[in-house]
A and B are shown apart, each in its own frame.
Chain A
């Protein structure tokens, strides 16, 4: 969740990322605008991933678009490519369960 004031201050979603990575880009721009992204582990939301438009890996065209948008994300934020300023360096860089390396 983000306050409307903050959302408007960064001009909302980037329409140049119509399908993927727009949420990540939003968080990155909020961070660069001086805000923190806080994870609320107690909150539980259900997201039916790709249910409306289908999974990306099922077609070469969708995979190509996904890759374009991934590159587009880091084209916008090269300073955050492979660099999470909040990640504890003692944690596995690709871990999903906060494993210690």
Chain B
């Protein structure tokens, strides 16, 4: 809402005058200054306390909201005692009674959340762009403890041109309190004060102070934070049996939307040119992108018919075969020996041949048989390597089909916590094409190192990736490590949310238009389980459809982690799953094949 324009200290604001449009007003000035919170942007939460509540929930700190509010008061008291005029966010977190590493993580999360909660005011943003396009010097004068970097990031994220930024916590001067921040801005501009227009949102604060400093002023309030502005996620139903469709609508759909929103932002930040979604992680994400084109602004993206197993095999040859033996026998305890070949798509020799190695069909693998199994696999390596060469040839064919030229910045999306898919993909790419690869995973490693399980378990895993090469949606940097550990422990359920089990890809085969994934044929593509996973995907797509409709009505997306939070709620407050879902949610196709094979 725009109120009125006044020029210089002698001209009073007249409430009765007809307010000029912001566009017209900026053109009457030689330079324009904009307020930040309440003018250019508003928060999509009603009170700052709501931000603290969210952070407390994310980091498992039930008293955080009160502690954070008290720390703000404490920091301001210290500021006054020290003769300073403004606090920084670091000052506030120094006053918090929590451990310093945790304080750093929560502080970073507060900045990220504040960014996520900002929504630009359409009229002020338009005037900002208009002034910039007309070549006027444009400033942002902001009273905030969040710092200059935060303000710049907010402008950039919402497509506003860069501007000179004066922030109270960086300058130790305020706009609304003393108005001294305006003096600093005027010195920078070197323009007569009465030719500078300040557009502010607080009549008694920055507007009054700017006028007192001799600037033209215009009061414009960004529409206040309204929770109805946000595309909300429907809460989980009461603790009752959760059907497959409900699991899709209330958990998988929100998780996919949140993950895609996060990927969209990361892609922009990392300068990614193409996003690859391996089938195991990308089935639902790819469906969402295809059914709702334009809902997410991603560069080129494609589903890649591969998996950690398929990529690992593609990286193997007769020179490095021995190094990969631990991978081949990982997670095999309890399997029948022939299943170790079956799960990588290699035909097993006749039972009597296996029996000659002491690995007959009646035996179940255990550490006592590992040495014998290792010896057998090495002797059988040239049969295994036929499959490896086919996978590698198909991978080259697929990459050619995608047109990914050397050096291209590519993101590989995964669910896993340790970057195993990315590492196996990178190993498979060696000698084929050199890509600049960035890994995006749904959840990252928690403190205390990797959890058990997965193809790398028991194997000499590939070298860990540096944080620069991998980032995670749920990470110990933005949520409590306990939440990340819970996601790890429930990785089978997470996998199920994003892709039906019958999409367990174990190999690749060249085709005229690239490659196709070869599924693990041990999984029933029909039957109750397939119906359950189809209903789950339908529920997820229904949520994504509702989300798209909400955005079309002008609502803003909720912060990505908040959107995906029902999954955390589900893990915190387990809801019984339906009979068809329960076995799927606990199943690992790499290690559990014996039970399924009967």
Contact = CB atoms under 8 A, between A and B. Distances in A.
B318 A71 contact: no
B396 A74 contact: yes
Chain A: interface secondary structure? Answer: loop
Interface stretch (B7-15, B102-110, B382-390, B553-561): B382-390
Chain B: interface secondary structure? Answer: helix
Interface string B390-403: 00110011001000
A93 B382 contact: yes
B433 A101 contact: no
B397 A79 contact: yes
A93 B397 contact: no
A74 B400 CA distance: 10
Contacts of A78: 393, 396-397, 400, 510
Interface string A81-101: 111000001001110000001
B353 interface: no
A48 to B, nearest CB: 28
B433 A71 contact: yes
A56 interface: no
Given A71-B433, A75-B400, A93-B318, A81 B393 contact: yes
A55 B393 CA distance: 29
Given A78-B400, A78-B510, A79-B510, A93 B393 contact: no
A79 B393 CA distance: 7
Interface residues of A, number: 13
Contact of A83 (B385, B389, B400, B433): B389
Nearest to B392: A82
A74 B386 CA distance: 18
A75 to B, nearest CB: 6
A14 to B, nearest CB: 17
B432 interface: yes
Given A71-B432, A75-B400, A78-B510, A89 B386 contact: yes
The listed residue with most B CB atoms (<10 A of its CB), out of A82, A83, A89, is A82
Nearest to B399: A78
Interface of A: 71, 74-75, 78-79, 81-83, 89, 92-94, 101
19 contacts: A71-B433, A74-B432, A75-B400, A78-B393, A78-B396, A78-B397, A78-B400, A78-B510, A79-B393, A81-B392, A81-B393, A81-B396, A82-B392, A82-B393, A92-B382, A93-B382, A93-B385, A94-B318, A94-B319
